[in-house]
């Protein structure tokens, strides 16, 4: 049986809007209730306004009421596979502090726990 998240991330990667970098990324996440949400990166001529695939998927999920993510798969064309950027790590931590994060490139895959990617993170605990 195939990996539903990997297939979804690869599929949505084709929809990335990356006219400046040419670096297309697709992401698919599994919510705690099993629903799957996808996102692709969306670049902008004002580079700072670019939205990464991971944050697009989180926004999609949050817009449907998701508050907890179990797993996210990110597909890139780079080898080794690229991990999420710092901004994405912070957003992913908000919705999936114990989530599994998998980055998949053309030939290899890397897997982390969210807290490995952002140790000693600023989170909801600091705001209590």
CATH number at residue 67: 3.40.140.10
Predicted local confidence at residue 128, as pLDDT: 85
Read off the pTM: 0.94
The one catalytic residue in 43, 54, 79, 125 is 54
What pLDDT score does 126 carry?
Answer: 86
For residue 9 the two structure tokens come to 């991330």
Strands 100-104 and 69-75: parallel
Structure tokens at 23: 């670096």
DSSP codes, 7-62: HHHHHHHTT-B-TTT----EEEEEETTS-EEEEE-B--SSGGG-B-HHHHHHHHHH
User: What's the pLDDT at 45?
Assistant: 97
What CA dihedral angle connects 14, 16, 22 and 28, to 10 degrees? Answer: -80
Which parts of the chain have pLDDT scores under 70?
1
Q: CA 57, CA 9: separation in Å to the nearest integer?
A: 10
Q: Are 105 and 80 in contact (CB under 8 A)?
A: yes
Domain that holds residue 71: 4-127
Which class for 45: exposed (0-12), middle (13-18), buried (19 or more C-beta within 10 A)? exposed
Respond yes or no: is residue 102 known to be catalytic: no
> What token pair was written down for 104?
């998949």
Number of structural domains in the chain: 1
pLDDT of 80 reads: 94
Residue 1 has a pLDDT of 54
């Amino acid at each position: 049986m195939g990996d539903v998240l990997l297939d979804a991330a690869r599929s949505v990667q084709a929809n990335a809007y990356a006219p400046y970098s040419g670096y297309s990324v697709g992401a698919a996440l599994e919510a705690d209730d099993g629903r799957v949400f996808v996102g692709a990166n969306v670049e902008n001529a004002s580079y700072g306004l670019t939205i990464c695939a991971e944050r697009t998927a989180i926004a999609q999920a949050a817009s449907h009421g998701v508050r907890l993510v179990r797993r996210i798969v990110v597909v890139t064309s780079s080898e080794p596979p690229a991990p999420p950027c710092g901004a994405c790590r912070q957003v992913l931590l908000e919705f999936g502090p114990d989530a599994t994060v998998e980055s998949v490139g053309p030939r290899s895959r890397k897997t982390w726990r969210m807290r490995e990617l952002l140790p000693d993170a600023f989170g909801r605990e600091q705001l209590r």
